[in-house]
Amino acid sequence: MRILHFIPSIDPATGGPVEGLRQRCAIYRIGGYEVEVASLDSPEFVRQCDFPAKVVGLGPGWGTYRYSRHAMPWLKANLSRFDVVFVNGIWNYNTVAAHRALADTDIPWAVFPHGMLDPYFKMRYPFKHIKKVIYWHGLLRRALHDATAVLFTCEEEMIQARRSFSRYSVREVVVPYGTFGPDCDTGAASEEFLARWPELRGKRLAISLGRIHPKKGTDILIEAYAATLGKDEAWRLAIVGPDQLGWRKELEPMAARLGIADRILWTGSLEGALKWGAFSSSEVFVLPSHQENFGIVVAEALACGVPAIVSDKVNIWREVVSGGAGFVGADTVEGTKSSLRGWAALSAEEIAELRIRARKCFHEEFDYHLTSKRAMENVECLARATTRYQPIEKKSC
């Protein structure tokens, strides 16, 4: 089978959709499928990126919408090579371009909104939502209606998506989503991490990994940490991830005013062994996000046996609760304080039990080695929407 993924950018700084696509490409290879990626990045940028699939740069896309005049001609010239097309994201030109190019073909195609239909954005950015409403009724509603399927990574994301726009009518499918656990010796990775930041050795470490962004609640985390664990000299907080908006220059003075500047470590982005070492050196993972359609970093923490404290706006919070793998609270300072106080009250034996449950939760819910089978079945089902592709083995949808 030949698969095309169309995404606005393969820049890892853009967040979870890119990391999710990287991991899907690995699964496609394991399944024996051919995969190609088209992006609205420039060809020069694409050549600089280490991506696990062939990537065609159709940009550079113009502005935040990333319009590119090269996209439509390339799609029309190349779509016949593919059995199924996946479009990642909805608010960029790639979605409309794919819809127009696929309209007169029998190629099945599906859209991953990646949480972009969550009503959080309507409440958080009301003026921007007005523009989105115009775009929704002008172009996007029809595109999603005509897609073979709109794919959600969990049931909570699908439920929330129904609340953002009127005249919402799509073919909803929940697909299994997951991630890989560490691919290295975590003990050695932890030692490498602690060698880089020796001031953390012997400390109890809470970690937050992801973009430094208002949506992620980094300010909430700092304030809640200052009022709870940060009062204890034994604790440190590692904030790991890129500062896309330059927000750190406001957050660091905030930490200083709260008297915890020396108890927070800002590492920037970490990859590979250093990332797994950061997880493995930590006692608890914290993400008080205002919106998270899945949360790959949550699953990665659980894979390392690190229990998670998340908000109830992280769409896999139910899995964390049912697996007994952490604490869930409101996406507020008080909600995060409550969870951190709950953690501080645990005994060593209770923490050890939570670490066991965290790994169990990962393997039962999020391990890509298990979820990939269903993911491939979803791909087969989409491909069978047309007679262009006939699978060798019949599978139930």
Q: Is residue 103 part of a domain?
A: yes
pLDDT tens digits for 297-322?
999 999 999 999 999 999 999 999 99
Nearest to 3 by CA among 41, 33, 26, 30: 33
Give the separation between CA 310 and CA 320, rounded to whole angstroms: 9
pLDDT tens digits for 36-54?
999 999 999 999 999 999 9
Angle between helices 272-280 and 186-196 (to 10 degrees): 90
Confidence of residue 396 (pLDDT cuts 50, 70, 90): very low
How many separate domains does the chain show? Answer: 2
pTM, full prediction: 0.76
Q: Is residue 390 part of a domain?
A: no
pLDDT at 349: 97
Residue 238 scores a pLDDT above 80:
yes
Q: Report the amino acid identity of residue 176.
A: P
pLDDT tens digits for 118-142?
998 998 889 999 999 999 999 999 9
Q: Is residue 190 part of a domain?
A: yes
Nearest to 55 by CA among 8, 102, 99: 8
Q: Is residue 394 part of a domain?
A: no
Residue 287 scores a pLDDT above 90:
yes
| Neighbour count for residue 179 (Cβ, 10 Å) | 23
Q: Is residue 239 part of a domain?
A: yes
Q: Are residues 275 and 213 in the same domain?
A: yes
Q: Are residues 174 and 133 in the same domain?
A: yes
Q: CATH number for the domain including 379?
A: 3.40.50.2000
- H or E stretch covering 256: helix 248-257
pLDDT at 395: 41
End-to-end CA distance of the chain: 17
Q: Is residue 397 part of a domain?
A: no
Residue 388 scores a pLDDT above 60:
no
Boundaries of domain holding 32: 2-178+369-383
pLDDT tens digits for 322-353?
999 999 999 999 999 999 999 999 999 999 99
